[in-house]
Structure formats: C-alpha cells, structure tokens
Amino acid sequence: MKPGATSALVYSTDAGRICPECRQPVARCACKASTVAPGDGVVRVSRQTKGRGGKSVTLVKGLALDAAALALLGKQLRTACGSGGTVKDGVLEIQGEHCELVIETLRRLGHDPKRAGG
C-alpha cells in the first residue's frame, strides 16, 4: 500500500463487520451509523441449498430495517413457518422451503416481497 493512502477496514475475521464511522465492530458500534442494511428497497424471497448438505433454506433479502426490527421480523417469520433460522448480515435465513408462506406473511405485515430465483 502506498504511503499516505487512506484505507478503511470493513471486515475482521475476529470481530466481523466494522462500522466505517467509529471503527468498532458493528455489535459494539457507538455511533449506530450503519443501523440499516444496504439494499435497493425490494424485498426478495428465495430458496437456497448451496453449502448446506442438500438441505434447503428460505432467504429474505433487501429489508431496510435496523438490527432489532430485523430480529423481531425474523422471530415472527420463524414462528409462522414453525421452523428455526437466523439473521446473518441483514439476510433472514429460515430453515426449510417456506417461500410461499414467507411471502404471504410479509404481505400481511405490510411489505411488498418478490419471489427471486426459480
């Protein structure tokens, strides 16, 4: 790297995502500058099996919510589907193939989801 060049650490294998403003891990961010995940405003629901031993997972991407609201929505969707799941980097993962049920539940909650993928 050239001397005098500015660089910004965005990810650390020890702490995960780094806040660009306060340079702390997002979980311990003091400024809360990156509370909303980046997205284009379109909620996409898809199914994926890559890297999961053939088991399918329903993914929900593009939700412009802060971490607390995203966790609450994830809880509501997992309860509606009757399965487990998690929130990783602004993406909701719900175990199993529940695309239609997730789309229906998101519409009831006031979002406008689209089916992505095949």
Residue 32: which pLDDT band, with cuts at 50, 70 and 90? Answer: low
Q: How far apart are the first and last CA of the chain?
A: 43
Q: What is the pLDDT of residue 46?
A: 93
Helix (H) or strand (E) holding 113: strand 113-115
Q: What is the pLDDT of residue 77?
A: 92
**Tokens 């993406």 appear where?**
91
Q: What is the pLDDT of residue 103?
A: 92
Report the percentage of the chain scoring pLDDT > 90: 37
Question: What's the pLDDT tens digit per position in 36-81?
Answer: 555 567 889 999 988 888 899 999 998 888 888 889 999 999 999 9
- Domain 36-115 indexed as CATH 3.30.780.10: yes
CA distance 22 to 32: 9
Domain ranges of the chain: 1-34, 36-115
Kindly give the residue spans of alpha helices, DSSP state H, lying in the chain.
67-81, 99-108
